[in-house]
């Protein structure tokens, strides 16, 4: 891609492209800088962190190893993984089902109901967290996986995203399927879902990302180490010692790895899925 930018210098549009790339470069530097400092700090010994913090030196994996063992990150990551997988799978299923209802089914009050649904997107997690906390407490779900996952199992955003692509499916498809005697669930499973798979993939990836590093909710409803998730583990690590300021950097890097894997797997769907709903077909 940089090639395009350099070869296009001759034309006026080339200058525009160059400017655009320059902007992108600046934006990338801003975004990548904290990641860069994290990686650099995580890969050098503790006593070298304050000396030239931006320059990699004395490469070692020892700090990562210690963050993993001393911080007991394996246990916390296991909890995070369990909760994240539950949330991702269930949220995708509920989103597909509700999106289908709002997009394909016809029933009285559908649009009003959908608006109410969408309105919940305006309510931030922080606003409902106290009530949710009490509900989960009353259910006896403190310190449980179901308690950690429950508030995130159905989302207006997911419903909205998938409904947009369902709306673009030609009406004829459903009619043809109906004539062949295929019911709603059959149509959903055999026709609709395969057609919108990129969007579903994007939703899954987004849900995974937002769930993996959640802090506020897990922090409020877990009081036992056995159910703490990764961010809590990183917090402990950050408090642990002054003489190893980079232990937490190493922990963060470890915590990032699953996210990077998921991003690599879903990257194409993520880009295609998010844009596909926006184009009216």
Piece of 109-117, 131-139, 151-159, 252-260 that binds other proteins (CB under 8 A): 131-139
Cβ distance to other proteins smaller for residue 94 or 143: 143
Q: Which is nearer to other proteins, 94 or 219 (CB)?
A: 219
Residues between 139 and 198 that touch other proteins (CB under 8 A):
142
Number of residues that bind other proteins (CB under 8 A): 27
Q: Does 62 participate in binding other proteins (rule CB under 8 A)?
A: no
* Residues in 208-227 that interact with other proteins by CB under 8 A: 219-220, 223-225
Subset of 39-58 contacting other proteins (CB under 8 A) = 46-47, 49-51
Site for other proteins (CB under 8 A): which residue of 3, 54, 122, 138? Answer: 138
CB of 195 to other proteins, least distance (A): 45
Tokens describing residue 248: 């937490």
Residue 2 beta carbon to other proteins: minimum distance, rounded to whole angstroms: 38
> Does 137 interact with other proteins (rule: CB under 8 A)?
yes
Should residue 66 be labelled a site residue for other proteins when binding is judged by CB under 8 A?
Answer: no
Q: What is the 3-state secondary structure (H, E, C) of the chain?
A: CHHHHHHHHHCHHHHHHHHHHHHHHHHHHHHHHHHHHHHHHHCCCHHHCCCCCCCCCCCCCHHHHHHHHHCCHHHHHHHHHHHHHHHHHHHHHHHHHHHHHHHCCCCCCHHHHHHHHHHHHHCCHHHHHHHHHHHHHHCCCCCCHHHHHHHHCCCHHHHHHHHHHHHCCCHHHHHHHHHCCCCHHHHHHHHHHHHCHHHHHHHHHHHHHHHHCCCHHHHHHCCCHHHCCHHHHHHHHHHHCCCCCCHHHHHHHHHHHHHHHHHHHHHHHHHHHHHHCCCCC
By beta-carbon proximity to other proteins, the closer residue of 6 and 47 is: 47
Q: Considering beta carbons, is residue 76 or 166 the nearer one to other proteins?
A: 76
Neighbours of 170 (CB within 10 A): 10
Q: Between 104 and 230, whose beta carbon lies closer to other proteins?
A: 230
Q: Show contacts with other proteins in window 224-243 (CB under 8 A).
A: 224-225, 228, 232, 235-236, 238-243
Contacting residues toward other proteins, per CB under 8 A: 46-47, 49-51, 130, 133-134, 137-138, 142, 219-220, 223-225, 228, 232, 235-236, 238-244
């Amino acid at each position: 891609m940089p090639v395009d930018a350099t070869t296009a210098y001759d034309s006026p549009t080339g200058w525009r492209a160059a400017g655009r790339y320059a902007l992108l470069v600046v934006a990338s530097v801003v975004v990548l800088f904290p990641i860069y400092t994290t990686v650099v700090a995580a890969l050098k010994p503790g006593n070298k962190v304050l000396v030239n913090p931006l320059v990699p030196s004395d490469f070692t994996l020892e700090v990562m190893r210690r963050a993993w063992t001393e911080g007991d990150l394996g246990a916390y990551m296991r909890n995070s993984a369990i909760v994240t997988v539950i949330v991702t799978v269930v949220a995708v299923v509920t989103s597909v089902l509700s999106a289908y209802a709002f997009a394909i089914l016809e029933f009285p009050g559908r649009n009003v109901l959908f608006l109410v649904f969408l309105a919940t997107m305006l309510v931030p997690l922080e606003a409902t967290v106290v009530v949710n906390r009490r509900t989960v407490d009353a259910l006896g779900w403190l310190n449980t996986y179901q308690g950690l996952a429950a508030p995130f199992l159905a989302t207006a955003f997911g419903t909205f995203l998938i409904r947009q692509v369902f709306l673009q499916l030609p009406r004829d498809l459903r009619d043809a399927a109906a004539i062949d005697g295929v019911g709603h669930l059959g149509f959903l499973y055999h026709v609709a879902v395969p057609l919108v798979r990129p969007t579903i993939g994007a939703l899954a990836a987004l849900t995974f990302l937002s769930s993996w590093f959640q802090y506020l909710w897990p922090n409020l409803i877990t009081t036992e180490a056995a159910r703490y998730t990764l961010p809590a583990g990183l917090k402990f690590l950050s408090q642990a010692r002054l003489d190893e300021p980079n232990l937490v950097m190493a922990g963060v890097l470890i915590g990032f790895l699953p996210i990077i894997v998921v991003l690599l797997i879903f990257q194409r769907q993520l880009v295609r899925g998010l844009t596909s709903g926006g184009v009216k077909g």
